[in-house]
Structure 1
Amino acid sequence: MVLPLSDEKQKIASAFGKAAKRYDSIAYYQQNSGHQLLDLLASAQVNLAAKKVIDVGCGTGFFSQIIKAQGAEVTALDLSSGMLDVARQKNAAKQYICADMEALPFADQTFNVVFSNLAIQWCSDLSLALTELHRVTKSGGVIVFTTLAEGSLSELSQAWARLDGYSHVNAFLSFEQITASCQPWQHQLLLQTDKLHFPDLARLLNSLKGIGATHLTAGRRGGLMTRQRLHRLESAYPMSEKGLELTYQTVFGIIYRD
Structure 2
Amino acid sequence: MTPKVNKQAVANAFGRAAQSYQQHAELQRRCGEQLMTLADVTRYRSVLDAGCGTGWFSQRWQQQGLQVTALDLSAAMLAEAESRHSADRYLQGDIDALPLPDGAVDLCWSNLAVHWCDDLSHALNQLCRVTRRGGTVLFSTLAADSLSEVRDAWRQIDDAGHVNRFLSMEQITAACAHHHVQLSEQHLTLAFPDVLAAMHSLKGIGATHLHEGRRHGLMTRQRLQQLESAWRRDERGCLLSYHLVFGVISL
TM tier relative to shorter chain: over 0.9
Among candidates 184, 189, 195, match of residue 195 of structure 1: 189
Distance in structure 2 (CA, Å) of the matches to 1:100 and 1:126: 13
Among candidates 7, 17, 20, match of residue 19 of structure 1: 17
TM-score normalized by structure 1?
Answer: 0.92
Among candidates 34, 37, 40, match of residue 39 of structure 1: 37
1:63-74 correspondence to structure 2 within 5 Å? 63-74=57-68
Contact 1:54 1:76 in 2 (8 A): yes
Equivalence for 2:81: 87
Aligned residues: CA RMSD: 1.5
Among candidates 106, 111, 118, match of residue 112 of structure 2: 118
Distance in structure 1 (CA, Å) of the matches to 2:135 and 2:164: 33
Equivalence for 1:214: 208
| Identical-residue share of aligned pairs (%) | 50
Distance in structure 1 (CA, Å) of the matches to 2:219 and 2:118: 28
Contact 1:64 1:76 in 2 (8 A): yes
Among candidates 81, 98, 105, match of residue 99 of structure 2: 105
Shift of 1:107: 1.1
Equivalence for 1:245: 239
Residue type of the alignment partner of 1:27:
A
Shift of 1:221: 2.5
In the alignment, structure 1 segments of 5+ residues that lack a partner are 1-5
Equivalence for 1:166: 160
Equivalence for 1:3: none
224-233 or 172-181: bigger deviation? 224-233
211-220 or 156-165: bigger deviation? 211-220
The number of equivalent residue pairs is 248
Correspondence 1:157 to 2:151: yes
Contact 1:56 1:115 in 2 (8 A): yes
Distance in structure 2 (CA, Å) of the matches to 1:48 and 1:218: 42
In the alignment, structure 2 segments of 5+ residues that lack a partner are none
Structure (1 or 2) with the greater helix fraction: 1
Shift of 1:106: 1.2
Equivalence for 1:145: 139
TM-score normalized by structure 2?
Answer: 0.95
Residue type of the alignment partner of 2:19:
K
Equivalence for 1:132: 126
Q: Residue 99 of structure 2: SS of its match in structure 1?
A: coil
